[in-house]
Structure 1
């Protein structure tokens, strides 16, 4: 299977690679498992795709763990999309973080960010942008309505 993507994120799991792949492709509308490599009944590695981005997953053992130093930024259009992805990615033992960040149940960090956040933070009026920034710094999951109200000063 040829891959036109030059760089592919490679995720190291401690025995949960297949569970993680199935979890991610169930969450994103455009997700699919591309292949699974097994040794007997054990999964060694697999390849999957979500929203056009290919990933590889490896059952590499307990030596390494995920950290927030690497995260996946998800650009969302609506509050409904933010809410759905936030709920599904943090389910089952995930941890909500600040400013749109969360860790999923595998320890992978995600940023669930509505396009409205960038628009508010780059407002040409520095006072509006500052109010939006201050509101965002108080949030876990980004609330577009509250962000816009803060920018407006209401």
Structure 2
């Protein structure tokens, strides 16, 4: 079982970018459009990637080059749980700093339109504790999550 993510071109570029984000990631298989093929009513895509099966930190995904009919949206996101503010900052800069955009509460999207949630493991602990309400309120005010501010809200 794996998730399929629909793209409109630039599949190889997206796959290489995703591999650079998460250690332990790799391409498993790449298929291409055969001669004269492409999405219905679309351009000839001969030789372009049709699908790329990959693992991101051990989680399987298929990237599909299906055309513009179904654009990526925040309805689907990849959640990355991290242990440190340094890792939040690294991923945020890589995703947003290379043409992506910020959202709120730890959400951002990359230059291909795929949404990401960069979440500190500590947030789950704080939300399970007795100070969950002020932590949630603080989280809702943030864009990129800040562990120190979340912990301060718990105190």
Q: CA RMSD in A?
A: 1.2
In structure 1, the partner of 2:21 is 27
Count of matched residue positions in the alignment of Structure 1 and Structure 2: 143
CA contact (8 A) 1:120 1:148 kept: yes
Secondary structure at 1:44 match in 2: strand
Point out where structure 1 has 5 or more consecutive residues left out of the alignment.
1-6
Aligned 1:95-114 pairs, distance under 5 A: 95-114=101-120
Secondary structure at 1:24 match in 2: helix
CA contact (8 A) 1:91 1:105 kept: no
In structure 2, the partner of 1:4 is none
Secondary structure at 1:83 match in 2: helix
In structure 2, the partner of 1:144 is 147
The TM-score normalised by the length of structure 1 is: 0.87
Distance in structure 1 (CA, Å) of the matches to 2:11 and 2:121: 30
In structure 1, the partner of 2:56 is 50
Distance in structure 1 (CA, Å) of the matches to 2:128 and 2:26: 35
- Deviating beyond 4 angstroms after TM superposition, the runs of 4 or more aligned structure 1 residues are none
Point out where structure 2 has 5 or more consecutive residues left out of the alignment.
35-45
The TM-score normalised by the length of structure 2 is: 0.87
